[in-house]
Amino acid sequence: MTRIAILDDYHNVSLKLADWESLPGSPEITVFTDYVGNEDRVAERLAGFDIVAIMRERTPFPASLIRRLPDLRLLVTTGARNASIDLEAAATAGVAVCGTGGSAASTAELAWGLILALTRYIPTEHTSMKTGGWQTRLGRGLGDQTLGIVGLGRLGSQVATVGKAFGMDMIAWSQNMTDAQAEAAGARRVDKAELFETADIITIHLVLSERSRGLVGTAEFAAMKPTACLINTSRGPIVDEAALVDALSSGRIAGAGLDVFDIEPLPADHALRGLDNVVLTPHIGYVAEDVYRIFYTQIVEDIAAYLAGAPIRVITP
Task: Please determine, for residue 8, whether its predicted confidence score (pLDDT) is greater than 90.
Answer: yes
- The pLDDT assigned to 232 comes to 98
Q: Hey, what domains does the chain have and what are their CATH numbers? A: 3-103+288-308 (3.40.50.720), 105-280 (3.40.50.720)
Q: Which residues are catalytic?
A: 235, 264, 283
Strand-pairing partners, residue 30, are 5
Q: What is the CA radius of gyration of the chain?
A: 21
Q: What mean pLDDT do residues 219-240 have?
A: 98
Condensed to tens digits (0 to 9), the pLDDT of residues 164-212 reads 999 999 999 999 999 999 999 999 999 999 999 999 999 999 999 999 9
Condensed to tens digits (0 to 9), the pLDDT of residues 260-298 reads 999 999 999 999 999 999 999 999 999 999 999 999 999
- Give the C-alpha distances (Å, rounded to integers) separating 115 from 144, 159, 253: 14, 11, 14
Largest CA distance in the chain: 63
b/e for 125-162, b at 16 or more Cβ within 10 A?
Answer: beeeeeeeeeeeeeeeebeebbbbbbbbeebbbbbbeb
Give dist(CA 157, CA 184) in Å, integer. 9
| 291-294-297-298 Cα dihedral, nearest 10 degrees | -130
**Cis peptide leading into 24, omega within 30 of 0?**
no
Condensed to tens digits (0 to 9), the pLDDT of residues 20-68 reads 999 999 999 999 999 998 999 999 999 999 999 999 999 999 999 999 9
Give dist(CA 195, CA 152) in Å, integer. 13
Instruction: For residue 313, count CB atoms less than 10 angstroms from its CB and return exposed for 0-12, middle for 13-18, buried for 19 or more.
Output: middle
Q: What share of the chain is helix, strand, coil (3-state, %, to 5)?
A: 35, 15, 50
What single DSSP character describes residue 171?
E
Q: What is the pTM of this model?
A: 0.95
Task: Please determine, for residue 230, whether its predicted confidence score (pLDDT) is greater than 90.
Answer: yes
